[in-house]
């Protein structure tokens, strides 16, 4: 492959007639400009115009966005909501901690009024969730686990052992065989790989 071209923010890469804008670029007056310092990457995808992006060695700084699947850790619960720290967006770790909230109504899709937060999460649980809103001035990121694939993936029992899921709403401690309630996620195989 030819040596990859380097660019800095503000460099004009090409016209919009030649390429489609990807990530790390912006459009201005019909031209594509770089918005990052990195390597120029042209990707041909079928008969469409090639997609031009600028990539860096590390994944571009991701921020939790609406619709993104995030991995978070529960920090506290109360009857109305659970507070979490967002650790990963997709498979990218975040450098800084962002706080999120899972409200009682957003724990599961059915029987929303019967949800009890302490039967769904416990502090320290690792939870897969989806961002539904960036929140407003008072609130943090609002998250939901109202999908089969979302919910608790890792939890520890009161005895301290890592529990195994036994149903969508229960997990069992391998040491004491005590059952605890959780909103358990049915982890997709592709996530298990990662």
Chain residues in the site for other proteins (CB under 8 A): 1, 3-4, 6-12, 24, 26, 28, 33, 35-39, 56-58, 60-61, 63, 95-99, 134-138, 141
Q: Cβ of residue 17: shortest distance to other proteins, in angstroms?
A: 20
Of the two residues 1 and 192, which places its CB atom closer to other proteins in the complex? 1
Q: How far is CA 36 from CA 5, 26, 85, 136, in A?
A: 13, 10, 28, 29
Q: How far is Cα 181 from Cα 168, in angstroms, rounded to an integer?
A: 9
Q: Cβ of residue 85: shortest distance to other proteins, in angstroms?
A: 10
Q: Cβ of residue 100: shortest distance to other proteins, in angstroms?
A: 10
Of the two residues 26 and 118, which places its CB atom closer to other proteins in the complex? 26
CB-count burial class (<10 Å; 0-12, 13-18, 19+) for 79: exposed
Q: Cβ of residue 57: shortest distance to other proteins, in angstroms?
A: 3
Q: Cβ of residue 98: shortest distance to other proteins, in angstroms?
A: 5
Of the two residues 56 and 186, which places its CB atom closer to other proteins in the complex? 56
Q: How far is CA 158 from CA 132, 155, 165, in A?
A: 31, 10, 15
- Helix H or strand E segment including 52: strand 51-55
Of the two residues 110 and 138, which places its CB atom closer to other proteins in the complex? 138
Of the two residues 45 and 190, which places its CB atom closer to other proteins in the complex? 45
Of the two residues 121 and 141, which places its CB atom closer to other proteins in the complex? 141
C-beta of residue 62 within 8 angstroms of C-beta of residue 92: yes
| Cβ neighbours, 10 Å, residue 75 | 15
Buried b (16+ CB within 10 A) or exposed e, 113-136: eebebeebbbeebbbbbbbbeeee
Q: Cβ of residue 125: shortest distance to other proteins, in angstroms?
A: 21
- What percent helix, strand, coil does the chain show, rounded to 5? 5, 45, 50
């Amino acid at each position: 492959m030819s040596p990859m071209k380097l660019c800095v923010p503000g460099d004009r890469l090409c016209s919009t007639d030649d390429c489609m804008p990807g990530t790390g670029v912006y459009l201005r007056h019909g031209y594509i400009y770089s918005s990052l310092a990195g390597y120029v990457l042209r990707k041909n995808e079928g008969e469409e115009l090639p997609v031009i992006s600028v990539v860096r060695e590390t994944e571009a700084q991701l921020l939790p966005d609406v619709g993104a699947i995030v991995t978070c850790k529960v920090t506290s619960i109360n009857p109305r909501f659970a507070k979490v720290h967002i650790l990963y967006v997709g498979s990218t770790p975040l450098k800084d901690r962002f706080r999120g909230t899972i409200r009682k109504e957003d724990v599961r899709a059915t029987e929303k009024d019967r949800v009890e937060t302490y039967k769904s999460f416990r502090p320290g649980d690792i939870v897969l969730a989806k961002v539904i809103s960036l929140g407003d001035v008072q609130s943090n990121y609002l998250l939901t686990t109202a999908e089969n694939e979302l919910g608790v993936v890792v939890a520890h029992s009161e005895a301290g052992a890592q529990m195994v899921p036994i149903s969508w709403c229960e997990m069992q401690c391998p040491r004491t065989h005590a059952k605890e309630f959780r909103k358990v996620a049915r982890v997709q195989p592709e996530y298990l790989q990662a």
